[in-house]
Amino acid sequence: MNSADNKPRRAAAVPSSRISRMASLTGLAGRVAGNLVTESSKHWLRGQRPVMSELLLSRRNLEQVADKLARMRGAAMKLGQLISMDSGALLPPELAAVLERLRDDAVIMPAAQLVDVLEQNWGQDWDRRLAQFSFEPVAAASIGQVHRGRTHAGRELAIKIQYPGVRRSIDSDIDNVVSLLRLSGLLPRDLDIDALVEEAKHQLRLETDYLHEQQALLSYADALTQFRHRAALALPGVDIELSTEQMLCMDFLDGISLTDAADRQPGLQHHIPALLLELFFCELFQLRTVQTDPNPANYQYNLEQDRLVLLDFGAVRHFSAEFVSQYGRAICAATDQDAAALGAALEQLGFFGQRHDAANRQVVLDIFMEATEPLRTPGPYDFGTSDLAQRIHAQGMAISSNPEAWHTPPADVLFLHRKMGGLYMLAARLGAQVDVHTIFNHYREAL
């Protein structure tokens, strides 16, 4: 497992107590309010009547919100990621764009804090556990950072180390961030995101238990024996003796970023998205177990072995047979452009129960049908030249441009759309041409 990029990383101690984390958000609220007064005064001096929503969504306010969440890491940062994953249909585009930065904008722990975590998990003599340990992380994200090590037996490890205080602050962090976003006006006060907030807390409790992720990895690897292209994938093994709730020790797998791989070897720009999309349909419709985080940093490619390397399993999510069956009806109806059948399937999934959802029923149906365009287009679909993302965005703006129309889709659907949308974006970034129609129909026949 190698670093996803070579960007220099900022080091800053992670606030580990609930009081210090609350103080961070309280200070941020004060700065947002101060910026509001400053910007409002500038407008009045220019003889302009300030618009409150524009002031709240100023670049300065949004950047300070994103920067503070990145420094806090953990639940605060993860909530920003979860809120932003509905491709703009939930939030105004300005805020969604800033929150999207949080996927790759974590700040690393300083060495002293890192040693504290190592001692808490492996004891004062932690350095005797390994023959070698690198203090420079090879990757950093919202919950932890990854270091390279080697056991005395010569096993190369990727050691994922959780930031201190993240797990015990999940509930308070998320509640405080939601309060901040509401008080600052960045979220409408009457927008019902209670279900999403509870789902974010549940997801974080799972993702911050590395023993749970260890089991998820082992179970996922076992389930993947059913995938017809299993030989094209590489998954790390786990060092069970060294792993703890805060430290997950996996095999270090060689690989480079997906974009680098596509640049170096012709054909991979098409092969990688095709493999990932087929894996997604297999996960959902055959295994009912989906790795729901589409961040490209969760994948690498080993050119020598010609295999896609899977790296992160904290966001593996299991879906019930009933949900998969109902979602299958919805996606098939959308692919067939059968609005009546799609509407009925979405109602069964929990859509249109809120006033906002019902008022935007046709827009939601249109977006679903638009999003399945690659699935119904015979032959290779050219993601690189398609304007599909722009069309979906334009339709989503019919909802997001009106604060009273913002809505929260059912959590299970949101996670799936997060994954599919991320795979579409990756395919577009690589300029891929993928026969999604044939891939989808292979799994549709089994529904």
pLDDT tens digit string along 354-377? 655 566 788 889 989 999 999 999
Query: What digits encode the pLDDT tens for the residues 165-203?
Result: 888 878 877 887 777 667 656 666 666 778 778 887 888
**Composition of the chain by helix, strand, coil, percent to 5:** 60, 10, 30
pLDDT for the residue 443: 95
pLDDT for the residue 391: 84
Q: How far apart are CA 335 and CA 370, in angstroms?
A: 9
SS3 142: coil
DSSP, res 11: B
Lowest mean pLDDT, pick from 39-53, 324-338, 420-434? 39-53
Radius of gyration of the chain (CA): 22
pLDDT for the residue 411: 82
SS3 76: helix
Confidence label for 344 from pLDDT (cuts 50, 70 and 90): very high
Q: pTM for this one?
A: 0.81
pLDDT for the residue 56: 45
| Both structure tokens of 32 | 């947002």
Q: How far apart are CA 324 and CA 348, in angstroms?
A: 12
Question: Which residues are tagged catalytic?
Answer: 293
pLDDT for the residue 408: 66
Mean pLDDT of the chain: 80
Note whether 409 and 191 are within 8 A (CB). no
pLDDT for the residue 424: 94
Query: What digits encode the pLDDT tens for the residues 259-308?
Result: 999 999 999 999 999 999 999 999 999 999 999 988 888 999 999 999 99
Mean pLDDT of 91-109: 57
pLDDT over 90 percentage in the chain: 50
